[in-house]
Amino acid sequence: MWMKVDDKLHDHPKVQRLLERYDETDALAAMGLWVLSGSWSGDHMSDGVMTPYILKRWHSEWKRLAAMLVEVGLWEVVDVDDRSVHQFHDWTHYNDSKAKIMADRIARQLRKELFADPDLIKAIRARDGDRCRYCGCLVRWGNQRGPSGATYDHVIPVGRPGCTNTLKNVVTACRGCNARKKDMTPDEAGMRLLRPGTLGAPAPEGLNPSDSPSGSGLVGSGAGSGPSPDSIPDPIPPKKTRKAATTQPRTRSKA
């Protein structure tokens, strides 16, 4: 995996403090230790945690250099398994955690397997009828970016026990609802799984949208309320009809 380094690192206040407070040779040696440690952490997915065993591989005076990095705020000392180790400050703010990396790998594998199963894809689309199973809007299979674009969602999220590529667990979802649900269950996201083919429609007045028998139709709303332009057909103006003329029977008057 990659370790992400901001292209403004050279001007970062912590780096500047390191260069100002310490001898130039020591400061650059500390930054070298910082870079090598980051590379190792990314490769081994350690979430920025560095043990003494690893640090001493790169410099005989690693303790002094590590103390300098801690002093300026680039590293911090944390307890892991009852021992003190060094860790990058805000590692997961700039880099993905091991948990996310592993979840993404599983998700990519599940997507690959899903699209390699045309019979399952066909069954999902036939059951759901091109309707989002969370809001009921009409999804657009050709829309690759918009909120009404069609996606497939795992009801039991990827990474949770029971997540599989099955007809029961994979549903059609608009991109808006999929983005809102994220890696949560419908309950956790405050959403409700609608019956297959449910049409989007406003929730009946006085009824909680989550208790509505139909979807809201509002793209990405999940259990929200309010109709969506995607779920309401364009009104068809009534045909104009010519009013039939009525004629009065003619009467001939006698002279």
Secondary element (H or E) of residue 150 = strand 150-154
Residue count (the chain): 255
Pairwise CA distance, residues 220 & 147, whole Å: 7
- Burial of 110-128, coded b for 16+ CB within 10 Å and e otherwise, reads beeeeeeeeebeeebeeeb
Pairwise CA distance, residues 166 & 45, whole Å: 31
Whether 185 contacts 217, CB under 8 Å = no
Q: Helices 118-128 and 98-115: crossing angle, nearest 10°? A: 90
CATH 1.20.58 for domain 105-211, yes or no, is no
* Domain definitions of the chain by residue range: 9-94, 105-211
Tens of pLDDT along the chain (255 residues)? 667 888 888 899 999 999 999 999 999 999 999 999 999 999 999 999 999 999 999 999 999 999 999 999 999 999 998 899 999 999 988 889 998 888 888 888 998 999 999 999 999 999 998 999 999 998 999 888 888 899 999 999 988 888 999 999 999 999 999 999 998 999 999 999 999 878 764 333 333 334 433 445 466 566 543 333 333 333 333 344 455 455 555 545 454
Q: What pLDDT digit, counting tens, does each position of 40-99 carry?
A: 999 999 999 999 999 999 999 999 999 999 999 999 999 998 899 999 999 988 889 998
What is the pTM for the complete model shown? 0.59
Residues pairing with 84 in the sheet: 79
